[in-house]
Structure 1
Amino acid sequence: MNSPHHSAHEASHQLWAYSDGAAVWGHDGNPIAPNIAPFATDMYAWLKRETSFVWQSGTHLAPGLDSQRNPYSESLTTLTASIATVIEDAVRFIESKSDISPTEAEVRRIRLECELVLYTARFSEAAIKQMLHCTGVPPKLYRNEAMGQLLAQDCRPCRQANLPRHSFSLLGSLAHHFFLCQEIDDCALDHLILANKRRNLEAAHSNAQRLRDFDPQQSRDALKVTLDEVGGAFAHLLGHVAKVEAAMIKEIELRIAHYPKMPPIEAYNYFLTRTVADYDSDGVYRGFGYGEERRKTRSESQARPS
């Protein structure tokens, strides 16, 4: 992410390498486990009612190991439980036949809508940041950023090189490594943008929603519309994010199994990852970026006049 780009696709989906933060390391200097947990995968399964529980993270036995934990995993544990509680409360309110005042019904609707929008946006942000922590992407690019910046950031190398200004996507870059960027671009980003806009408009601003002149049933119906819209978009988004998350966990586990050597190229059979581009024609790993440099050299030689 430090040099100008040569194509629109490359510019919006940049290459990255794994960092030491991708694994939990033992006292002997060997990696023990991936430093990422399948929160998006498990939340998606819960939303689809494929499981009846929400995954909860455990702790490492040794304090020295627990201190290495991905900083976003703990937040995701809290956000997972919060979203589950909000959705269950919303469903109970929507299905309730209790006799309450119109004002109380409207206050409940507004509270549940704001919590739903806020927590789903924060979960999406944290799930992306948990993956970014496992990469060499500089934390300054994502640590304090909200959803919009995770989807589109100004590319400084191209701007500083006086090339056309453009933005790149951190989520798209994560997906690009596993050849999943097409479906992220075509579908999931719309849901992320929707969640971000709704959070900004309804939850983050100081101006609260006004109380509508609704009877209790109208408030319940309005909440159901929001739950279907936000919950549906959130589930659809997680279906895509979970694929990237699962692929990252799989590749980290593969590298741990062969550490300190790189896995043989045969280990990547039936597994789509751009890591294979960094192996030469003899199946020898040549280092991060080898495939990209080889591609550039080939393109430059073809462009030279004969």
Structure 2
Amino acid sequence: MPDTPVPAPKREWHGTHHAWSFRPHAFRWVGEQIVGLNFLPLATEMRAWMLQQGRLALMPPPAPGANGGFTNPYTTSGVTLQLLMAQAISALHDYATSETPDHDELDAELERLRLYNEVLLYSARLCEVAIKQLLYCTQIPESRYKRMALGALLESPCPSCKRQNGQEPHLVSLVGTLAHPFHLCLQFEHCAMDHMDLVNRLRNSQAAHAGIQQLSIRSVEASKAQLMQESQEALSGFVHMLSHLAELEERMLTDLAEKGEAINVLKSGGLAAKDCNFNLVPGEEFVFRPAAQRADA
């Protein structure tokens, strides 16, 4: 699958970016020791598989959260969606490139719609879960994004403003908020978010709600040719968009790994639990200041 997308329609993004910090749930713990990070590079792995540069993995064997297990629900869902997406892509390719003597013109057209819609649905759902598993590691309340679809994650009215009568709420971008401390705003607002918006609109107009493409009954070969063309356009944009999410994942993984290592060193040195109320600011080096120093500042 080439990383040469059809350019997505450009739009202006007005969602503001809010400051945030990591929370303890960004790590996996055994007792008071950090043993790993609480998310997986879903976008990175999906993109590598689509470019035939890697394989998709299953979740590690289940383990209690207190014993180093994953507690991020979006990571678990994301691994399943990865595998479903891979299966949908493989089924689409096999059908479009194989002889199907038992299918007539109607069968081929129905199969085209089914396979194409599956790919659109899983593309949008994978974007959503890849973003939400990162948000789960932050202090942003889960109630803010748990029920959000992709479009709302890109840009949605500020919930605080919405509660004030007579106020026109400003817009907030949770995707931009994640990207901001890693200096990825321009990449996301000038490219990645346009592709996410396109995936979301295709999903909503053609594969969700009450809308779907019309049947266009013609030869089996013509239906398969359209399936291949449309899916290649959608998937090339999807794999390019994954490259931006993959970079965000890599920045967060590196940042958290460095912070986790520093925290473990402090704990191994005898730092008491009462002094471990850290403010883990993304993109900034973690420097521990004892409570006495903070009080004197």
- TM norm structure 2: 0.80
Deviates more, 1:248-257 or 1:63-72: 63-72
Other-structure match for 2:136: 133
Is 2:83 aligned against 1:81?
yes
Partner SS state of residue 36, structure 2: strand
CA distance, structure 2, for counterparts of residue 176 and residue 186 of structure 1: 13
2:254 partner SS: helix
Closer, same or farther in 2 for the Cα pair 1:286/1:196, shift >3 Å? farther
In the alignment, which of 162, 185, 195 is matched to residue 191 of structure 1?
195
The alpha-carbon distance between structure 1 residues 120 and 285, as it changes in their structure 2 partners (threshold 3 A), is farther
Please give the residue correspondences for 1:1-306 in structure 2 after superposition, counting only pairs within 5 Å: 12-26=16-30, 28-51=31-54, 53-62=55-64, 64-65=66-67, 68-99=70-101, 100-157=103-160, 160=164, 165-259=169-263, 261=266, 274-276=283-285
Higher relative contact order structure (alpha carbons within 8 Å, sequence separation ≥ 6): 2
Q: Which consecutive residues of structure 2, in runs of 5 or more, have no partner in the other structure? A: 1-12, 268-281
Flag the 1:248–1:286 CA change in 2: closer, same or farther, 3 A.
Answer: farther
Q: Is the CA contact 2:116–2:231 (under 8 Å) kept in the aligned structure 1? A: yes
Q: How many residues align?
A: 264
* Change beyond 3 A, Cα 1:152–1:207: closer
Letter in 2 for 1:206: A
1:98-145 deviations in Å (ceiling 9; x for gaps): 332001101110110110000110000000000000000111111011
Asked whether the equivalents of residues 60 and 66 of structure 1 are also in contact (C-alpha less than 8 Å), the reply is: no
Q: Which amino acid aligns with 1:153?
A: S
Q: Deviations over 1:7-41 (max 9, x none)?
A: xx997121110011101111x22221100111111
Q: Secondary structure at the match of 1:197?
A: helix
Contact 1:18 1:134 survives alignment (8 Å): yes
How far, CA to CA, are the matches of 1:156 and 1:36 in structure 2?
27
1:294 paired residue number: none
Partners of 2:29 and 2:68 within 8 A in 1: no
Name the CA shift for 1:286/1:152 in 2 (closer, same or farther; >3 Å).
farther
Output one character per residue of 1:137-194: Cα deviation in whole Å (capped at 9) or x when no partner.
Answer: 1111110110011001212456759987421211111111111111001000111111
Contact 1:59 1:66 in 2 (8 A): no
Residues in 2 aligned to 1:170 and 1:119: alpha-carbon distance in whole angstroms: 21
RMSD, aligned CA: 2.8
Change (3 A) 1:105 1:12: same
The runs of 5 or more residues in structure 1 that have no matched partner are 1-8, 263-272, 291-306
Answer yes or no: is the 8 Å Cα contact 1:109–1:223 preserved in 2: yes
Normalised by the length of structure 1, the TM-score is: 0.78
SS of residue matched to 2:284: helix
Q: Could you report, residue by residue, the CA deviation over 1:249-304 in whole angstroms, capped at 9, with x for unpaired residues?
A: 11111111111549xxxxxxxxxx5424xx8xxx77699xx9xxxxxxxxxxxxxx
Q: CA deviation at 1:208?
A: 4.2
Structure 2 CA distance, aligned partners of 1:208 and 1:10?
A: 30
